[in-house]
Amino acid sequence: MTAETSVVVARGTTAPLLRALRPYQWPKNLIVFAALIFSTGEAWHPSDAGSWWPLLWRSCVVFGLWCMASSAVYLFNDVRDRENDRLHPRKSLRPVAAGDVSPGTAVAVAVGLLVVAMPIAFALGPIAGGVLAGYVVVMSGYSMGLKSVPVLDVLILCAGVVARAVAGAGAIDVTISPWLYICSSLGAFFFASSKRWAEFRQLGGAAAEHRPALAHYDARLLGWMVMASAAGTLISYAIYTVESAHVPGNGAMALTAPFVAFALLRFLRLIRGPRQGDAPDRILFTDGPILASMAGFVAVALAVLIVR
């Protein structure tokens, strides 16, 4: 292959490779900022920027590292599942399954991302590094077969969300309320159950052929899991904003609860109706009203933290 041809191939691979990294999934990693936003102390007082700027910088670094590590996991998963993905109506469009990115390229990029991310994570602290390494190991096991184990498949996805919160706290060395872990766990369980529910309804009788764990679920059970976890998420968050000693603002953070309620209820409406054929993660990060609700949540939370 000539140098000119290599350049053409590289240019043609760039966009599919970027899609293979699944940047639309990166907002999930924003939970690493929870420790900074909901921690105790005066770190967010505008008159003392020197106290919160280093923490904000470290949280931003952790966010970037989790984006890199999660993309590496997605690439590895896509290589492992490429044959099955080609039989799936939506996953067949993934760059590796579609042949737009070669398995060798995907693996090389995944390894490169981890080689860069891991040393930096451990430089931030043993907790930040250890949690990120544990996430990569567990999710690799998930891709290699654990996702076929019913219930455990959902719990692993939940653990990944909680791990982000723990890593964010470890990077800036703060203690956050156990209620945050409860909220993040229930929220993750809601989202993971929604994904399974959407797959089951979309694929019907062929669901188990694409994901063996779905052979052990039925529509009624998955629907119950989604509704129960949605209610648990909203209730636990409302309690957290009022009762937890780790949340500043003397209960004013409860003003953010309506934004959480709106996002949850709209998401439920969309997956049951007009967008039931879409992947739940795409709904979450592409729906305008949900994104607006997230922006409102952030604005109100920051206002409470700054003016308290």
Q: Which of 149, 176, 203 is the last residue of a domain?
A: 176
Do 185 and 272 lie in one domain? The reply is yes
Give burial (CB, 10 Å; 0-12/13-18/19+) of 137.
Answer: exposed
- How far apart, in whole angstroms, are the C-alpha atoms of residue 60 and residue 30? 9
Asked if 156 and 187 sit in the same domain, the reply is: no
CA distance 16 to 30: 24
Clarify whether residues 37 and 148 are in a common domain: yes
CATH number for the domain that contains residue 93 = 1.10.357.140
Do 152 and 214 reside in the same domain of the chain? Answer: no
Residues 141 and 242 placed together within one structural domain of the fold:
no
Q: Is residue 142 part of a domain?
A: yes
At residue 63, the pLDDT reads 96
**39 and 169 both lie in a single domain:** yes
Task: Note the maximum CA span of the chain.
Answer: 67
| Structural domains counted in the chain | 2
Considering the domain architecture, whether residues 160 and 47 belong to the same structural domain is answered as yes
pLDDT of residue 10: 39
The answer to whether residue 3 is domain-embedded is: no
302 CB neighbour count, 10 Å cutoff: 12
Residue 33 shares a structural domain with residue 162: yes
Tokens at 25, concatenated: 């999934």
Mean pLDDT per block of 10 residues along the chain (308 residues) reads 36 74 88 76 50 82 96 93 80 87 93 96 92 94 83 84 89 78 86 79 62 69 85 88 63 86 90 73 83 90 74
In a domain, 19, yes or no: no
Please spell the DSSP secondary structure of 226-244, one letter per residue.
HHHHHHHHHHHHHHHHHH-
> Are 222 and 304 found together in one domain?
yes
At 100, list the tokens. Answer: 């737009």
Give a yes or no: residue 185 inside a domain: yes
Q: Which of 108, 142, 176 is the last residue of a domain?
A: 176
Q: Is residue 136 part of a domain?
A: yes
d(CA 162, CA 176): 12
Give yes or no: residues 171 and 188 share one domain: no
Please give the Cα distance from 298 to 294 (Å, whole number).
6
Q: Do the domain assignments include residue 201?
A: yes
114, 146, 176: which is the final residue of a domain?
176
Same domain membership, residue 201 and residue 143: no
Domain-located, residue 18? no
Burial bucket for residue 189 (CB in 10 Å: 0-12, 13-18, 19+): buried
Going 137 to 140 to 146 to 150, the CA torsion angle's sign is positive
Structural domain of residue 115, as residue ranges? 28-176
Same-domain check for residues 186 and 146: no
Confirm whether 198 is domain-assigned.
Answer: yes
